Copies of this chain bind each other. A is one copy, B any other.
């Protein structure tokens, strides 16, 4: 098939133009075989709802063929072009691209090796005819001219807020008003999808406010922007929890989100005959039933405290609480504190207790990935998210697109050298920690924090100071499982008794699937299956390989049920995907889902 052979081309720009032109020709002539031939032997095509109305990655030419056979006719892709000057490094040419489909506009990234695609990212960012009212399309605010009986902006907002959920049903109900829920709600408002967000806490930001007082974001500011409104240039690198809480509260107001605080979601059920949910909520003590078409659980990976059922918990006479309910150190000066767990919260709480003059022991139950915050910023984030990146023209949007463009299968090879460098750079630090008895890991395949996060969402500490306390023994370290609690101590499996006035269970959180079981039913939870992880076959992320975060931001096996979550960066980036999927359904754009995943795991 000589026509499928990539044209010779010199220079990155010419190479990319030639490839895009061949690709477009293959697509517009519906020549699946030719399109597949444009991909390398080892190749990946990641699609975010542009072709597949799903978030999915196919591999190799067979994968490309399969995807295109299922989606090409409906998608009608065309207009492929590089959106800025392509670059070349180490034999790989990288280009940011744009294109259109029958229903919208897309962006993406293609990486070419030897003239064929190594990776392709395609993402839909806008539905034709439903463009967001922004910039040159921004609303007028004041309608000029005279209109008897007109309502002011405030009157309209007030009316909408009081009607929605009472005399008018929202199209989408978002349960959980943290960054994930409100980022999605902001997108949906822009897209004119009637949405209500409910949260059990009174004020937006309370999920942050209510945490232990020393909490700061561990990701630096450049990664943390919410949609539409960047943090200002005077915002701190690491947001203190109360400051980020204020920002979220402000964001809800500025983005005109219909946010119901002090509202607890009691139960939800889907009625397949009406295609709507019936969701019972308690709002300021009043029970209300909402009937949205779509239910989004944005309850967070850290929404359901998990305390292992250790014998003797009811016998212990001191204070004990889950890390999410830790009140801060002030009451524990001179007291004995035992912290069970060794991830972020455990370390933060240990350091704050030590600073306040408590006698602190941390119980490490299993190995932990530790990385110094400075090192992480410089070696892992800095290239894409930093002042340096901004100065080099890498906007947050561009960085997000580049991150999204790396298929999950390729991430270990990309990450491992970075983590080798991190370990080398901080070798002395790690040696001191190990000498103190701390059990370190860098992921089962030594690929570091990012992958550990994407696989299991836990198992690490980004060091902002506590590790030195452990290294020099100021915070004592104990290792092993917890056998029981007595009246005044924590007893480990080896029999060691740790005297305790306060026990902090920094033992992590239950799964998002658990929320589905609790709010809807075990049956629906089982239908949906595991949420998060991508089938890497490592601890807490069993295979088979899925290649995308399970059930996140995309259709699930339960009609009308969606999961939104992740860190601020994911809340920002994937909220657009999810919002567009909901908008398309609202306005009746066909959304045939390619390859809805099989369910292999129940929680």
Which residues of chain A have a CB within 8 Å of any CB of chain B?
132-136, 138-142, 144-150, 152-155, 157, 190, 213-214, 216-217, 221, 228-229, 232-240, 242-243, 246-247, 250, 253-255, 351, 354-357, 373-374, 387, 464-466, 468-469, 474
Contacts and interface: CB of A to CB of B under 8 A. Distances in A.
B465 A140 contact: no
A511 to B, nearest CB: 29
A144 B373 contact: yes
Contacts of A466: 146
Nearest to A156: B240
Nearest to A132: B234
A86 B154 CA distance: 46
A473 B205 CA distance: 52
B136 A387 contact: yes
Contact of A229 (B138, B146, B232, B253): B232
For A190, A233, A238, A356, the residue with the greatest tally of chain B CB atoms inside 10 Å of its CB is A233
A141 to B, nearest CB: 3
20 contacts: A133-B234, A135-B233, A138-B221, A138-B234, A140-B237, A141-B221, A141-B236, A141-B243, A144-B465, A148-B355, A150-B214, A150-B355, A152-B242, A154-B213, A154-B242, A228-B233, A229-B232, A234-B255, A246-B253, A246-B254
A140 B155 CA distance: 41
For A217, A250, A468, the residue with the greatest tally of chain B CB atoms inside 10 Å of its CB is A250
A49 B496 CA distance: 70
A213 B232 CA distance: 31
A142 B229 contact: no
A237 B142 CA distance: 8
A493 to B, nearest CB: 30
B465 A216 contact: no
Contacts of A190: 234
Nearest to A474: B146
B141 A355 contact: no
A140 B238 contact: yes
Contacts of A253: 246, 250
